[in-house]
Structure formats: C-alpha cells, structure tokens
Structure 1
Amino acid sequence: MTVDTGLNRRKAWLTVEFVAFFLCLTGLYAVFLRGVGPLPFLLVITVGIVIYLRRTGFDHRSFWRADTLRPALPSILALWAICAVALTAAVALLRPDNLFDLPRERPLIWVLVLVFYPLASVYPQELLLRAFLFHRYAPIFGDGLRMVAASATAFGFAHFIVGNWISVLLSIAAGALFAVRYQRTRSLLTTSVEHALYGILVFTVGLGDLFYHGAAAS
C-alpha cells in the first residue's frame, strides 16, 4: 500500500467518523433521548477527549494559554456589546414578555447559570468542538475556512437536540465566531470566555428557552 493510498483511506475514515460522531449521533439523541439532559454525556466525553489529546501530540498549552485573553478582549467585548444591543432590541420587539425573564423571575437560577455554566458546559463544549475537532480532523479539513465551517456546522447541529431551528442557525453563526477565535489564539480559555459571554447573554436577555435542554445549555 502506497503512502497516498494510506492517506486517502485515513481521510475517508475520518470523514465517515466525523459524520457519524457529530451528525448521526446527535440526530439519534434528538430522536430517542429527547428530554434527557446531555450534560452527563458531555462530561464523560470530556474525560475521554482530555485523555486522547494528552496522548496524541496535542499542544497542551492550548488547554489554557491565558496570555492570549487580554489582547483578544477588546474585539471580543466590542462585538459582544453590538450583539447584546441587537438581541435585547429583538426580544423587546418580538418577545416582550420574555425580556430579562430569568433574572426577573428566577434570580437564584440566573446566578447559578453565571457561575456554573462556563465551567460545566462551555469549557467541555470547546474541548470537543474546537480542540478535539481541530486536532483530530485536520487531515480532512485543514486549518482554514473548511475547518471553521466544519466546527460551526458541528456546533450548530449539536443544538438540534433542543428542538428548534432558531437555536441551530444562531449556533452555527456563533460556532463560526468561536472557531475563528480558537484558530487565531489556540486558547481554550479565550474561546470559552467568548462562548460564555454569549451564552450568558442568551439566558439573561430572554432567549434561554430556545437553547435550554434538560440539564445543559447552549
């Protein structure tokens, strides 16, 4: 078997694996486990991913890489502020009864979201959909726009389990943003901070019902 043949077979296998893992399994979950919170599954997968990454040449600095956060914060916060104004206006216009419903009606739950959501949901998602995906599937997607598109698609389709297409479409857009951020910084900390800001915004402004599923969120 030639080197090219072996490489082509590996790419074919990785393509099948990507579709099966990120699309088919999500679809099956949505059909057969609707109403079951995915967080326990996500946390188990996270443990496996960390073990895999530590054993396969992944740059361990990317697990944190805190030095990239401060330079990235101005652009992160500027875009987030624009989106915050736009989403607040949209909810006020289209869903006025939902505007700031979580902090108004269930402030304790809102505080718990602020504290635990970044740790229990955001960072594990970034491990799976950025670090693992970029590392594992680079042979088929490269490290440019195709990888960004693959990561965004996987992130968006993961929200199919919530049961509405608004969350899927918004998540594809957000996934592209997070993928580009990870591509530039190679920092799960920086990408998780950005992800957490948008997730907390969604739950604060009154769109949480579009993203909440069981015990886990966005």
Structure 2
Amino acid sequence: MPNLNWRLFWLETLAKLIAIAVITTIFVYLTDNDALFNVVLNKPKLWFFILFIYSIFSVYPQELIYRTFFFKRYLKLINNKAVLIFVNAIVFSLAHLFFKNALILGLTFLGGVLFAITYNKTKSTVLVSIEHAVYGCWLFTVGMGDMLGFPA
C-alpha cells in the first residue's frame, strides 16, 4: 500500500467539494428550487439513512469494481494513463444508463474522471471511496437525490 498523504487528500477533496457545492446549489436553485435541501431540512432521519446506505452499500462496491478491479485488470492493456482514466470514466458513466438521464451520465462521467485520477494517484480504494461518498452525499443533500434513485 502506498504511503498516503491524508492531509493533502482532504485539502484536495474539500477544494473540489466547494466547487461542486457552488455549481450544484445554483443548478438546483434554478431548476427545482423546491428540492433545494428539502430532504435534509424536512426528513433528516431519511437523509441520514440515505447517506449511510449509499456510502456503505453503493459507493464502496462501485469503487471495488470500477476503480480497484478495473485498474488492476486493464492497467497493462491500456498503457496510457490519460486514456485509462478516460475509458474508466466512460465505463463508470455507462453503468448509470438505467437512470435514463443525460445529466446523470454527464455527472457520473465527470465523477468517474475525478475518482479515476484519485485512484491512479493513491492506489487506495478507501480514499477513492471516501471521495465518492463525500460528493455523492452532497448531491443528495443539495436536493439531487430524486434523480439519483433515492426518495425525496
């Protein structure tokens, strides 16, 4: 296991989260103002339950498959790191086709790029799972959970 720089990881994750928070808050405000922070304000127990279930039973298995397995399996086949990260993001995005939502495909592609870069840099399933959970939990918090398959 590589020597992990937790401080740097948290600083980078926080910086990205701030950017994601600003963009998504504006997006939800403009497109579905009633959903903005709706679950966390009106159903805090449900919100907490969703964050817990999502982080443990969705994020971690996804990272085992889409980062850990993918990188170990295809690193030798795809020698170019940029191409490997791009292909990984495409595969991750396509895994979300069942939502039948172009915005979800775009968000998961961008998330896939971020997660693949983190995994490539750290080789840590734990760190990339934390990052994935932080951003995903934010999306539920800000009011985008309904389109991600969780109740509002």
Q: TM-score, normalised by structure 2?
A: 0.91
Residue 191 of structure 1 is matched in structure 2 by 128
Residue 42 of structure 2 is matched in structure 1 by 105
Residue 66 of structure 2 is matched in structure 1 by 129
User: Given the alignment, which residue of 102, 105, 117 partners 2:54?
Assistant: 117
Name the amino acid aligned to 1:153: I
After the TM superposition, which residues 100-179 of structure 1 pair with which residues of structure 2 at under 5 Å, given as runs? 100-142=37-79, 144-179=81-116
User: Given the alignment, which residue of 19, 33, 46 partners 1:82?
Assistant: 19
- Worse overlay, 126-135 or 99-108: 99-108
1:26-64 deviation digits (Å, cap 9, x = unpaired): xxxxxxxxxxxxxxxxxxxxxxxxxxxxxxxxxxx3xxx
Whole-Å Cα distance in 2 between the matches of residues 145 and 105 of structure 1?
A: 43
Residue 137 of structure 2 is matched in structure 1 by 200
SS at match of 2:128: helix
SS at match of 1:140: coil
Name the amino acid aligned to 1:125: Q
Whole-Å Cα distance in 2 between the matches of residues 194 and 131 of structure 1?
A: 14
Identity of aligned residues (%): 34
User: Given the alignment, which residue of 56, 69, 81 partners 2:6?
Assistant: 69
Name the amino acid aligned to 2:106: L
Root mean square deviation of aligned Cα:
1.8
Q: What are the ranges of 5 or more consecutive residues in structure 1 without an aligned counterpart?
A: 1-60
Whole-Å Cα distance in 1 between the matches of residues 130 and 3 of structure 2?
A: 11
1:133-166 deviation digits (Å, cap 9, x = unpaired): 0111123222501110111011111111112111
Q: Does the CA-based 8 Å contact 1:182-1:191 persist in structure 2? A: yes
Name the amino acid aligned to 1:109: L
Shift of 1:185: 0.5
Whole-Å Cα distance in 2 between the matches of residues 101 and 141 of structure 1?
A: 43
Q: Does the CA-based 8 Å contact 1:159-1:211 persist in structure 2? A: no
Q: What are the ranges of 5 or more consecutive residues in structure 2 without an aligned counterpart?
A: none
User: Given the alignment, which residue of 3, 12, 30 partners 1:93?
Assistant: 30
Whole-Å Cα distance in 2 between the matches of residues 96 and 194 of structure 1?
A: 26
Decide which structure has the larger Cα Rg and report it. 1
**Distance change in 2, residues 1:175/1:106 (3 Å):** same
1:74-114 deviation digits (Å, cap 9, x = unpaired): 01101111110111111111210111122133221101122
Q: TM-score, normalised by structure 1?
A: 0.65
Whole-Å Cα distance in 2 between the matches of residues 192 and 69 of structure 1?
A: 14
